[in-house]
Amino acid sequence: MTEKTKSVILALVTGSSGSSAQFAGKKSLGWGLLLFCWVVLPAVIWLIRTNTTLNPQMPVILFYSGIILVHLALALYHGIGREASQSVDAVRSRTGRIALSVLIMFVLAYISHHYVFTDRPVDTSKAKPVVSIASVTLSQEFLEDEKAFRKQYDRQVIKVTGKVVSIGEDFSEGSYIALEGYPGSPTDVNCYFLPERQAEFTIIASGQEVSVTGVVDGRFLRNCYLNKP
């Protein structure tokens, strides 16, 4: 599923905050929230998720938190705050509709997070690489034209061969190896491994020539598998 598709699904789901405002009789606010949920926020999240220099998890959490807070604020203002000026039946009807909207939002948020934002990892040990390439060449192509590089390689399974220049630990991503990049390039090719494949690091040493299969994410390789000689 592409990032644009995910953003569209997310927009349709979270647009319920605008619907709750419509129920509460705030037409202008409702349309404003719908526009914000259907256009602005999905576009921002899509840009963040396609920019590999940023961690998308925090914006996603803030996004859901913001939508839920909007629902709760509307429920308090239009359901509880105006009880004194309305009949009991009117209050119950209004509060019930907004409460239902909040409940639906929680359910849809969980479903969309599970199916939209949770990518199923590819079994790179069995997947057939679309191309085999040297890490130096891969780094050079990324350096010369990042946009064309992403269009050609992003989310593709490829096989990369190169010399290990360092082995490190990333706070959010876990252990990784950096393969030699193009001379003069400020970045190497970082290869990240799933937790169940961390044992493979015991047989890797700096300066060693290795072959790795992984999923391209900019200059990074995710869900890597160390090919046996």
Q: What is the pLDDT of residues 173-183, one digit of tens each?
A: 778 899 999 98
**Going from the N-terminus, what domains does the chain have, and what CATH number goes with each?**
3-117 (no CATH), 132-226 (2.40.50.140)
Q: What percent of the chain has pLDDT over 90?
A: 19
Q: Quick check: 222 and 189 in contact, CB under 8 A? A: no
- Note the pLDDT of residue 163: 94
For residue 213, what are the CA distances in angstroms to 52, 80, 122?
A: 19, 57, 11
What are the structure tokens assigned to 50, written together? 């396609």
Question: What's 38's DSSP letter?
Answer: I
* DSSP string covering 202-222: GG--TT-EEEEEEEEETTEEE
Q: What is the pLDDT of residues 10-47, one digit of tens each?
A: 545 555 555 555 445 556 666 666 666 666 666 666 66
225 has pLDDT over 70 = yes
- Note the pLDDT of residue 101: 62
What is the value of pTM for the model shown?
A: 0.51
Residue 136's pLDDT band, with cuts at 50, 70 and 90, is: very high
Give the residue-averaged pLDDT of 57-65.
58
- Note the pLDDT of residue 168: 85
